[in-house]
Each structure stands twice: as C-alpha cells, then as structure tokens.
Amino acid sequence: MLHIDSLHASIDGTPILNGLSLDVPAGEVHAVMGPNGAGKSTLAAVLAGREGYEVRGTVTLDGTDLLALEPEARAAAGVFLAFQYPTELPGVGNAYFLRVSLNAIRQARGLDEIPASEFLALAREHLDALDMDPSFLGRSVNEGFSGGEKKRNEVLQMSLLQPRLAVLDETDSGLDIDALRVVARGIERLRSPERSMLVITHYPRLLELVTPDRVHVLDQGRITRSGDASLARELEAEGYGSAPRTVPA
C-alpha cells in the first residue's frame, strides 16, 4: 500500500531524510522510533505534503505518486496526519470543521455530502465508540483544550475520516494513561485490511496497548533497523546506540 523508496528531504539546505526506504502493507500497523533529530516528524510532514521541504525519491500510496499531489489531494486520496502539536482554530466550531472536512473528501471522491443532522448522529456514534464526551462537538477546534483533549480530537478526526493511510506523529507524547488509552482505542478501531497506519513515537508505552506488525528504527534520516514488536521493548531497555543494524544502511 505505502511504498517509500530512497526518500531524501531537506529544509533550508539542511538534509534531514537521507535515502529512507519503507514499505507498509495494507492492513498493517508499523511503528517508527528513533532519537531526537532523526527525522521522524519530517517523514510525517513530507507524507502529508507540508511546504518548505526539498524532496526527492519515490512515495506511492496504492500506486499513486503522493509527491506529485497537493496536500488537499493527498487527503482525498486517503492520507491523514495526526499532528504532534495540533493547531488551535479559535471561532471555528469543531462539529462544523469535522463536517466540512468529511464532505470535502466525499466530494473529491464523487460522493454526496452528508447533511448536518446526519453528520451529528454519525459523529456521536464515533464519540461513543471512543468513549469521548459529546461536548467536544460544541467547542472551537482545539481552543482551550488540554494536551490530552487535543490528541483525543485528532483521534476523533481520524475515526470520522476513515483514511487509507493514517500517520500519527507522536500522538502519544505528553498523555496520561486515560488519554493514551483513547489513542490506542482509536488505532485498534481503525485496524482494517484496507488501511495502513504509521505510528511515530519516542516511547513504547503506546505499543504496549497497540501491538504493531513491525517496528522500525529511524536514525540520521534512514531506517537502520526493523523487527517485530519485541524490538520496542529492547530499545526501551538498551537505547538506540546499542542496537545493531539488521537492514541495509
């Protein structure tokens, strides 16, 4: 499903990704771990189409060249990014934002828009499934939200939009155990043979609640090691410096 080959990315002339290659098959959850400055958030930003990066290499989703698409077209193709630091949108109602986002994607795919009344019923179903307070819908997007509430809101967006590829950029950072469980529940609820997920994290806490199909170590802009879920526990115990490379550098 997601195929990345020899991906390079730099910003202001500084290289960050240095020939990164990675495959995430349909139906699988892959975790990317690595030290600070390794390029994890840059990878997420490049996949979503954030401006400012000089990029070369190959990134395809279901055979579609993502690098040739604008961010909006990538979203319509099924790419979703849960931000490490979600943006506040004062004055923009959460329910309105979610409905407009969902309908924009449906319209791009040739589907009818969902009326407001039907959307509210749908949104409440997703809130219930995630054990989230319905009051989220009546608030402005992330305005006055705690860190945990912002991350919950990202999971709600992901649940409603049903992406083909979900990229979670350190969505678990700074969360208490209750908020962490909401994030984990959202990931587990979205597991599907038709979907790939890339979970970027520093810590194995989330991976104790969600068992990834593969774990990758990103260091100095490249994948330097890959393994099963036990690799996350090994990294927690031994750190990144002691991990031998088991994939080509």
Domain spans of the chain, in order of start: 2-238
Determine whether 161 is exposed, middle or buried from the number of CB atoms within 10 Å of its CB (0-12, 13-18, 19+).
middle
Residue 7 is predicted with a pLDDT of 96
CA-based radius of gyration for the chain: 18
Q: What is the pLDDT of residue 242?
A: 55
- CA distance from start to end of the chain: 23
**Mean pLDDT, 10 residues at a time, the chain of 249 residues:** 95 93 95 90 93 94 93 91 83 91 89 91 88 85 83 87 91 80 84 92 85 93 93 85 51
Quote the pTM value.
0.87
The dihedral sign for the CA sequence 144, 155, 133, 103: positive
Q: Please count the other Cβ atoms lying within 10 Å of the Cβ belonging to residue 70.
A: 10
Tell me the CATH architecture of domain 2-238: 3-Layer(aba) Sandwich (3.40)
